[in-house]
Amino acid sequence: MPLQILNIDKNITLSIYHFIPRFFLFDWTSRLLDITSIPFFLWVIILIIFHYRKKSIYFILLPLFNLLIAGGIANYILKNIFERIRPCIQDIVISLSCPSDFSFPSGHAATSFAAATTIALLDPKRKILYYSIALIISLSRIYLGVHYLFDIIGGIILGISISILSMKILRINKSYKT
């Protein structure tokens, strides 16, 4: 990325990082969401709570499949192509737990928005809830100081794209009655 764009991203990220108040509830929630498997199990719980009566296997497996595909592409392919250093490694922000891998795109944002988009396409009645959860998970990455805003945006675009593409490939275009 050009240096001007990186500087704009850095300044916006620092503004967001300093804007969000620091207190124990945000700290605890963000650290809980930092554990890689917790967001996955959160989406599983959401699927169980809202859709346990669904007989369609798509409703359970497709969001989880898209989540795993988006995470794999983000964490194992794109991060190694772009090699963007995390803000906590560059000492731009202070973070208690700073991952050693690269930053762009955010795997948490990619997986959360892949799951949220798939579930929202299947259950549009509660789409605001699904996208709100995905956004909270994504913004927690800036709060913890482990991602820049553009990392989050890149993850969001990747997650949404994976979900829409898989829905088109599988020709699943109807919502289920809830």
Residue 96 pLDDT exceeds 70: no
Which tens digit of pLDDT belongs to each residue from 3-52? 777 888 888 888 877 777 766 667 666 666 666 677 778 888 888 777 66
Contact 161, 118 (CB under 8 A): no
Angle between helices 37-51 and 127-143 (to 10 degrees): 170
Q: Which residue has the tokens 């490694």?
A: 89
Its pTM stands at 0.83
Length of the chain: 178
User: How crowded is residue 124: how many other Cβ atoms within 10 Å of its Cβ?
Assistant: 13
Which tens digit of pLDDT belongs to each residue from 41-62? 888 888 877 766 666 677 778 8
Residue 177 pLDDT exceeds 50: no
> Where residue 84 falls among pLDDT bands split at 50, 70, 90?
confident
- Percent pLDDT > 90 in the chain is 32
Tell me how far apart the alpha carbons of residues 109 and 137 are, in angstroms, rounded to a whole number.
7
pLDDT at 155: 97
- CATH number belonging to domain 3-169: 1.10.606.20
pLDDT at 25: 66
